Amino acid sequence: MRNPLLLGIDLTAATTVAVVEPGRGVVAYDSRAADVRSTRPGWAEVDPRQWWRQVCELLPKVVKTAGATPGDITAVAVAGTAPAVVLADQAAKPLRPAILPADERAVEQRAGLHLQLAGVDLLNLTGSALTRPAVAPLLMWLTTHEPEAWRRTAAVLGPAEWLATVLGATVHIETNWARASGLYTLAGEPADAVLDAAALSGERLAPVRRAGEQVGTVSTAAAEATGLTADTPIVAGSADHVLTACAAGLTDPGDLLLGLGDSGELLAVAGERLVDQRLFLAEHPVPGRWLPYGRMATTGALVRWVERLTGTPRPGTLDAAAADRLPATIVCQPYFDGEQSPLHDPLLRGSFVGLHLGHDAADLYRACLEATAYGFRQLVEVLTEHDLRLGLARLTGGATSPLWRQILADVLRRPLYPLMDTPVAAVGATAAAGVGTGAFADWAEAVGLIRMGAPVEPTGKAELAYEESYQVYRSLQDELRPASHRLAPRSR
């Protein structure tokens, strides 16, 4: 007899739907790329209605592929990019495109808010410094430039919470969107000091709910649109990186996860709250666990840029060529969209140092792979400054580049365990759905739904070359910063 099925949805630069059977694992999934729009330099938006259309398209197909009926789905939960912003009216209709965390339209507002909050200990108030993902500067921009949309806004939501509301949930915001936004205190209350400085009221801030809490049931209208059964429980999901960590099995202090996407993320499990202005902080759904993490602005996006720039006909071509090149002959500063962690400098710009006439596209490509590895190493060093003993390291993404994975293992000097090719965040959302409805006794039972592959072991062959190149990489951050700051305003 089949166990109850759990449905997870993930909304990022793609829409993903997955079905998991407890005790068996992933039984079906599918995804569609979302159209990320940048109508002006530094802007990054997605139309939430596109997410909804894709969910309505994918959901019946995935349930059918699982060999199930809608009635077999016992709960649904949603993961999403955090803290992306959806402005919703009283009927949960989006009033404008969702604004993604990479968006940089509110640079001036953030600088002004920095001055106003100079005497406020934001790290211990909200858990994060006032950096690019902070939502208050963005809301300040919206009140000035789109006052009508702001006037009609009933709730400021994340993508996951917005979709859950459309499905039938009560209006809420999950703990880790609240934490990443900088609008809430660590206790989950509106951060009045931030709101007052930004001239914002808390009336549009939704109440905070924890991942795994039931927040409603599927409405009749949503059931008709998606094919789900009305009254199916809806459970609060979480930020995509948090649920990815859960699906990957990160529970013990020191567990590590490297994520390779358009941007790069490094998460670690800590047994106590780890606050550092160079990092972000998420709350692990397992009680007593925290997830300090860093996010690099460009990793996979930089790799694809080099492929486009050099006219590479198909993915993997440069990977094979670069594997035969000498390591660490060029040092790349990968700040082609500024940088988030640990530097938090939107005005940094990219560079290649050490070029000569004998270098070609494969050398540039390899330099980009090495640069992302150096960025991950710098984040690891920040974590170890806090006496966090790092243990097992998982890796998600980068499946099309064996060289990238090997360089990461060599630069970090540790084996990396790749996660099997499944939609990790959507699977993590099914863990939340299972916790909220009793399919899993608790989060400790729910985590680790994704299997790991064979480890990528460090070879040690180029250890000295990588070490020297890394030291050059670090010194260039300070040496090139003034030039970046002079040039960056010309490209905005």
Tokens 């938006």 correspond to what residue?
Answer: 45
Dist CA 94 CA 90 (whole Å)? 10
Angle at the Cα of 98 from the Cα atoms of 117 and 144, rounded to 5 degrees: 50
Taking a C-beta distance cutoff of 8 angstroms, is the pair 3, 23 a contact? yes
Give the type of residue at 284. H
At 314 the pLDDT is 74
At 1 the pLDDT is 52
Dist CA 470 CA 192 (whole Å)? 42
Q: What is the chain's alpha carbon radius of gyration, rounded to the nearest angstrom?
A: 22
Provide φ and ψ at 240, rounded to 5°: -60, -35
At 256 the pLDDT is 97
Dist CA 194 CA 187 (whole Å)? 15
Taking a C-beta distance cutoff of 8 angstroms, is the pair 305, 348 a contact? no
Fold identical between 5-244 and 249-418+462-491? yes
109 Cβ neighbours under 8 A, 6+ residues apart: 137, 138, 140, 141, 198
Which run of H or of E encompasses 371? helix 361-384
Q: Does domain 249-418+462-491 have CATH number 3.30.420.40?
A: yes
Provide φ and ψ at 476, rounded to 5°: -65, -25
Is residue 72 packed enough to be buried (19+ CB in 10 Å), middle (13-18) or exposed (0-12)? middle
Query: What's the CATH class of domain 5-244?
Result: alpha beta
Residue 175 corresponds to which tokens in the numbers above? 């703990």
Residue 28 corresponds to which tokens in the numbers above? 């079906």
Buried b (16+ CB within 10 A) or exposed e, 191-214: bebbbebbebeeebbbebbbbbeb
Residue 260: strand pairing partners = 264
Taking a C-beta distance cutoff of 8 angstroms, is the pair 237, 67 a contact? no
Residue 368 corresponds to which tokens in the numbers above? 């980009």
Residue 357 corresponds to which tokens in the numbers above? 């006439």
Which run of H or of E encompasses 209? strand 208-209
Dist CA 44 CA 38 (whole Å)? 5
**Chain centroid to CA 143:** 26
Dist CA 142 CA 339 (whole Å)? 24
Dist CA 295 CA 351 (whole Å)? 19
Domain borders along the chain are 5-244, 249-418+462-491
Taking a C-beta distance cutoff of 8 angstroms, is the pair 352, 330 a contact? yes
Residue 61 corresponds to which tokens in the numbers above? 């197909």
Dist CA 128 CA 418 (whole Å)? 29
Taking a C-beta distance cutoff of 8 angstroms, is the pair 261, 397 a contact? yes
Dihedral (C-alpha) 58, 60, 64, 70: value to the nearest 10 degrees? 140
Among 124, 1, 146, 6, which residue's Cα sits nearest to residue 434? 6
- DSSP strands (E only) in 261-414: 264-268, 280-283, 290-296, 331-333, 351-353, 393-396
Residuewise pLDDT in 10s, the chain (492 residues):
567 899 999 999 899 999 999 988 999 999 999 898 888 888 999 999 999 999 999 999 999 999 999 999 999 999 999 999 999 999 999 999 999 998 989 999 999 999 999 999 999 999 888 998 999 999 999 999 999 999 999 999 999 999 999 999 999 999 999 999 999 999 999 999 999 999 999 999 999 999 999 999 999 999 999 999 999 999 999 999 999 999 999 999 999 999 998 899 999 999 999 999 999 999 999 999 999 999 999 999 999 999 999 988 677 789 999 999 999 999 999 999 999 999 999 899 999 999 999 999 999 999 999 999 999 999 999 999 999 999 999 999 887 899 999 999 999 999 999 998 689 999 999 999 999 999 999 998 999 888 899 999 999 989 999 999 999 999 999 999 999 999 988 876
